[in-house]
Structure 1
């Protein structure tokens, strides 16, 4: 099993990796989706839900929920492999939206092959993307946007970005960069399987 963790400030382009790989048979786990689901249950904003979950269950809770989801998917994949009696390549998972070193610790404890990829974009670029995205938890003015960045940094996302195994600068179209990365990774897999 190969697990990639994607980190970056809001609007940096984390979800583009999911969109780019969705047809490659790669499993996408979005930490933001887990938080948004909880926010819907609690009838509050995503930010309030994230703080509430961490306050109630500890800083590692969202990562633990992701690990549970990956283990469930992995069990299902193993069952299918047994039924069809084929040997399949290891599953690949992408965890989108890592925000703290506590979360990184959980993933490193649970997955031997875990790699962090940081996506970085300038504040101006990220703000413009968020305005276009128009999601309910996105900032509509630059001051609020910067305040959100500060909250994200207080979670510890800066430490995760600084310790990433790979960094993608995403101020330009990212598709070409991702295609190259995936191609290189597939070449590595093919060479190691020979």
Structure 2
């Protein structure tokens, strides 16, 4: 069984995936780790989003998904969690490679996500709401909104407390794992 969690930055994908991992012992893979690893291997300079655009242009939008698939196959885990995909193509690849997969979207409005970003990072970094929205627009250009509107098996709106997010994950994901398997 594979649970693929998608959504925009700071919506609660990683928090949810880590919670599921702690509750189930599932193998957790963060797609962004594959991006950062390849970025470092290539010795790239500049913004990582520019690197992703270049990789998508040269290698296809599913390039990181294939690496994730290999990792899942190598792990022989009964339950895997993936978070961090940004394109419909990545989700389509995962769906084509594995039989038992559930794609769950996590969403929160942009202002709340920006506030979370500031709490997570240095609030005095000079990172503005405009910077955040520009990053959002870049991610949206990759197709994340298409994935959120067309490919979901469930959706969690995460605009409240951490406890309420966990309750939603319990209801929408954890309670369904045995049904999916």
TM-score bracket for this pair, using the shorter chain length: 0.7 to 0.9
CA gap 1:186/1:107 in 2 versus in 1, 3 angstroms: closer
Q: Distance in 2 between matches of 1:10 and 1:26?
A: 22
User: What SS class does the counterpart of residue 5 from structure 1 fall into?
Assistant: strand
Q: How many residues align structurally?
A: 172
* Conserved 8 A contact 2:18-2:28: no
CA contact (8 A) 2:154 2:172 kept: no
Q: Tell whether 2:35 aligns with 1:48.
A: no
Aligned to 1:6: 5
**Equivalent position to 1:142, from 118, 125, 129:** 129
2:155 aligned to which of 156, 164, 167: 167
Shift of 1:139: 8.4
- Whole-Å Cα distance in 1 between the matches of residues 170 and 149 of structure 2? 24
Residue number in structure 2 paired with 1:102: 89
Contact 1:39 1:48 in 2 (8 A): no
**Aligned equivalents of 1:4, 1:117: Cα separation in 2:** 7
Q: Which shows bigger deviation, 18-27 or 109-118? A: 18-27
Structure 1 unaligned spans of 5+ = 78-90
Residue 59 of structure 1: SS of its match in structure 2? coil
Q: Normalising to structure 1: TM-score of the pair?
A: 0.81
Root mean square deviation, CA, Å: 2.1
Deviations 1:88-114 (A, max 9, x none): xxx111110121111111111101112
Hey, what does 2:25 align to over in structure 1?
25
Question: 1:180: Cα distance to partner?
Answer: 2.8
Deviations 1:11-45 (A, max 9, x none): 10100112202222111111111111122232433
**Divergent runs of 4+, >3 A:** 186-189
Unaligned runs of 5+ in 2: none
Superposed, which structure 2 residues align to 1:44-83 within 5 Å?
44=45, 45-74=47-76
Per the normalisation by structure 2, the TM-score is 0.86
Structure 2 CA distance for partners of 1:183 and 1:152, relative to 1, 3 Å: closer
Quote the residue 2:35 is aligned against.
35
Distance (Å, rounded) in 2 between the aligned partners of 1:101 and 1:131: 28
Q: For residues 144 and 51 of structure 2, what CA distance do their matches in structure 1 show?
A: 17
From the superposition, tell whether residues 159 and 182 of structure 1 become closer, same or farther in structure 2 (CA, over 3 Å). Answer: closer
